Structure 1
Amino acid sequence: MDWRLKIGTNSFSEDTLLVYFKELTKKCKSSTLWSHYSMLKSTLNLKHNMNIESYAKVRALLKRQSEGYQPKKSKAFTGDEIYKFITEAPDTKYLATKVALIMGVMGACRSNELYEMKTKDLQFFEGCINVSVPITKTKVPRNFTVTGDFYNIVKKYSELRPSDVSSSFFLNFQNGKCTKQVIGINKFGRMGKEIAEFLKLPDPVKYTGHCLRRSSATLYADGGANMTALKRHGGWKSASVAEGYIADSKKNKMDAANKILHQINPNSISISNANSCPSTYADGVSNFTIDNFAITNKTSDVNINTTKTPPTIHFNNCHNLTINFINK
């Protein structure tokens, strides 16, 4: 509105907004331009009954400015890094951070969702905790479950909370005790950096408050989650964000490479894993038999007929792999 007064116009026409956004391109990056556009679209529609979504020239300008733009994204933790922090960081100092990490990764939670988490949102059962996330950015409530060793950690923290405090679940934790002070949203935003510094990872400042949610989506995609499951897990309405995680999945890329390799050379079988999960081979099957070689895991057996000369087998980053040599 100030800009309109400055240039002496009362118009909200497409040409007027085109000039306005052309000036903004000189000082704003692509993501900021789209933020301005989104705010203007909502405000002008509400206060002036103007629908600028139909302004094709303006949208075309913004799309041109987006070409080649690479947004900065928070780094994500690997499964090994999460496990190392959970097992090696002392509880006397990092227990609250561990619980936030568990909630963030298991439920793909944002910093504000952790901040808004209440004690009533957690239901404790024998061996598991059901957690509700009623307040979300996309207005889509979510639920997730905490089990295994994570269950014991969250339960330990819950039992240390004073009973005569507010309903907020996350309370400040110092010297092995919970205080009555609620953990603020900015502290949740710094926890990723705190974890990275403990693990001595490079560029800890790049582990922002969004790193827990990104870590969750990345691990789930690497575990083989499809589009529907990933959207439900993160509460995304749009498929574009979920598509990004699936497209960047190391497991999916490795599976594609192995399938291509298998078509070029059927006797060359690559058994790989991108994220410390049980081993798989070209077609994603853990158990198979090759002549006198029996490579087993926990899924159904698959027999592959080959020549009598054993094929070349490549193992990359495989864990918990059992190889049985059978003399037939």
Structure 2
Amino acid sequence: MSDISDIEELPSTPPHISEKAENAVQNILPQKSKKVYEKLYQRFMDWRNTNNISTFSENVLIAYFQELMETMKSSSTWTHYSIIKTLVNINHNINISKYKKLQALLKRKSEGYVGKKAKIFSPEQIKTFIDEAPDERFLFLKVAMIFGIMGACRRHELHDLKCENVKDMNGILIVNVIETKTKVQRTFTITGKYYEISKKYMNLRPKICPTPSFFVNYLNGKCTIQNIGINKFGDIGKKIATYLNLPDPNLYTGHCFRRTSATVLVDAGGDITTLKRHGGWKSNSVAEGYIENSVQNKISISNTILNSIETSNNEINVNIPSTSRSVGPGINFSNCTINNLNIFKKSD
């Protein structure tokens, strides 16, 4: 038998390879929300230290999330779970997605929970604002609304839109949305009356403008060279709702244009494939979640069911001569239908 000292040791990973791997792992986190990830992870680690806990067992995670659920909404708890799962896996090589009891606890918390969603504008409300709001004050809001609804845009997509992403092709604006949340680039067009309104805003842009952003500040009928902050894009829906005297204007958040676009498209007859392409969604369930359960949609469904019932012919008449024809005593086939026609067998 060979001595244990004769067994060849496995080579260790060279330092420069380990450093590259470490850097690559750190880049797994999304850059825009990296600080949020680190903050929530540190909160969890501080909780462990406070309670003198040294493991990452399922019972430890259950106890931690049980405390969180006393003060957090279900949606926030799931976000916290996703972040902890990612960083515990990266930093400690432990996969907490295998903790089934923990997942069951989180799912139970979600039962019956309905999160608040941004309210949407109806086609009539959109038309009223576009047609009646004075351009002197509201031209920027009109164009942002047009781009947001025609392209199902998030607020950051409007904020990040560059002049080079908008091409004028003989009366049609072709808009490319590059910076998307799902990394799926989208293209949409603006035509007709909306094209004319958008061009009016574009023509007011200063000839010498250092910013590449498509949207620049608009005041008293003139565009300036200043950029528009992302928070201002988040308030556009609220300002439009206020102009229209709609209830709860604060619920028209930065996501209202994207949800409005999805709902209007489906109410107009768009199918799920068209909707997913329009908004850049990969999942059917996610795409459907953006559709407002609108009255118009319910009316359409009701009419479809009603028309199906009213136009159906449940009773098929059998053409029998008016003269009575009997088959055996007491059996008359006059005025019979399929529904009340009995088939008789000849007795043996």
TM-score range, shorter chain: 0.7 to 0.9
Match of 1:107 among 151, 162, 165: 151
Partners of 2:297 and 2:221 in 1: CA distance: 42
For the 8 Å contact 1:115–1:183, the answer to whether it is kept is yes
Comparing 111-120 and 6-15, the one that deviates more: 6-15
Partners of 1:247 and 1:77 in 2: CA distance: 10
Comparing 115-124 and 195-204, the one that deviates more: 195-204
Output the amino acid matched with 1:256. Answer: I
Post-superposition Cα deviations, 1:176-203, rounded to whole Å, max 9, x if no partner, equal 1001111110110111011011111111
- Paired position in structure 1 for 2:226: 181
- Give the secondary-structure state (helix, strand or coil) at the position aligned to 1:143: strand
TM-score, normalised relative to structure 2: 0.74
- Paired position in structure 2 for 1:57: 101
Partners of 1:115 and 1:135 in 2: CA distance: 10
Partners of 2:74 and 2:298 in 1: CA distance: 29
Partners of 2:158 and 2:308 in 1: CA distance: 47
| Aligned pairs (5 A) from 1:59-74 | 59-74=103-118
Structure 1 residues 71, 195: closer, same or farther in 2, change over 3 A?
same
- Give the secondary-structure state (helix, strand or coil) at the position aligned to 2:226: strand
User: Shift in Å at residue 104 of structure 1?
Assistant: 0.2
Partners of 2:82 and 2:75 in 1: CA distance: 11
Matched positions, count: 267
Structure 1 residues 215, 259: closer, same or farther in 2, change over 3 A?
closer
User: Shift in Å at residue 126 of structure 1?
Assistant: 1.1
Tell me whether 1:154 sits opposite 2:202 in the alignment.
Answer: no
For the 8 Å contact 1:224–1:252, the answer to whether it is kept is no
For the 8 Å contact 2:143–2:198, the answer to whether it is kept is yes
Match of 1:95 among 139, 161, 165: 139
Tell me whether 1:2 sits opposite 2:46 in the alignment.
Answer: yes
For the 8 Å contact 2:151–2:278, the answer to whether it is kept is yes
Partners of 1:251 and 1:228 in 2: CA distance: 21
- Paired position in structure 2 for 1:309: none
- Give the secondary-structure state (helix, strand or coil) at the position aligned to 2:235: helix
Question: Which residues of structure 2 form unaligned runs of 5+?
Answer: 1-44, 313-348
Output the amino acid matched with 1:205. Answer: N
Partners of 2:292 and 2:212 in 1: CA distance: 40
Post-superposition Cα deviations, 1:117-154, rounded to whole Å, max 9, x if no partner, equal 00000010112100000001111111100001000111
Tell me whether 1:199 sits opposite 2:244 in the alignment.
Answer: yes
Partners of 2:147 and 2:262 in 1: CA distance: 13
Tell me whether 1:44 sits opposite 2:88 in the alignment.
Answer: yes
For the 8 Å contact 1:224–1:251, the answer to whether it is kept is no
CA RMSD in angstroms comes to: 1.5
Tell me whether 1:233 sits opposite 2:233 in the alignment.
Answer: no
Percent identity among equivalent residues?
54
Partners of 2:263 and 2:285 in 1: CA distance: 14
Partners of 1:43 and 1:228 in 2: CA distance: 35
Match of 1:253 among 298, 314, 321: 298
- Paired position in structure 2 for 1:120: 164
Post-superposition Cα deviations, 1:196-227, rounded to whole Å, max 9, x if no partner, equal 11111111111111111111111111111111
- Give the secondary-structure state (helix, strand or coil) at the position aligned to 1:2: helix
Partners of 2:167 and 2:307 in 1: CA distance: 48
- Give the secondary-structure state (helix, strand or coil) at the position aligned to 1:144: strand
For the 8 Å contact 2:263–2:292, the answer to whether it is kept is no
Task: Name the one with the larger helix percent.
Answer: 2
Output the amino acid matched with 1:146. Answer: I
Post-superposition Cα deviations, 1:58-95, rounded to whole Å, max 9, x if no partner, equal 11111110001010011100111111111111111111
User: Shift in Å at residue 254 of structure 1?
Assistant: 2.8
Match of 2:174 among 130, 154, 171: 130
Post-superposition Cα deviations, 1:262-318, rounded to whole Å, max 9, x if no partner, equal 344449xxxxxxxxxxxxxxxxxxxxxxxxxxxxxxxxxxxxxxxxxxxxxxxxxxx
For the 8 Å contact 1:221–1:249, the answer to whether it is kept is no
Partners of 2:125 and 2:293 in 1: CA distance: 19
- Paired position in structure 2 for 1:172: 217
User: Shift in Å at residue 161 of structure 1?
Assistant: 0.4
User: Shift in Å at residue 23 of structure 1?
Assistant: 1.1
| Aligned pairs (5 A) from 1:300-315 | none
Partners of 1:141 and 1:265 in 2: CA distance: 45
Question: Which residues of structure 1 form unaligned runs of 5+?
Answer: 268-328
Partners of 2:274 and 2:185 in 1: CA distance: 15
Output the amino acid matched with 1:136. Answer: T
Output the amino acid matched with 1:124. Answer: D
TM-score, normalised relative to structure 1: 0.78
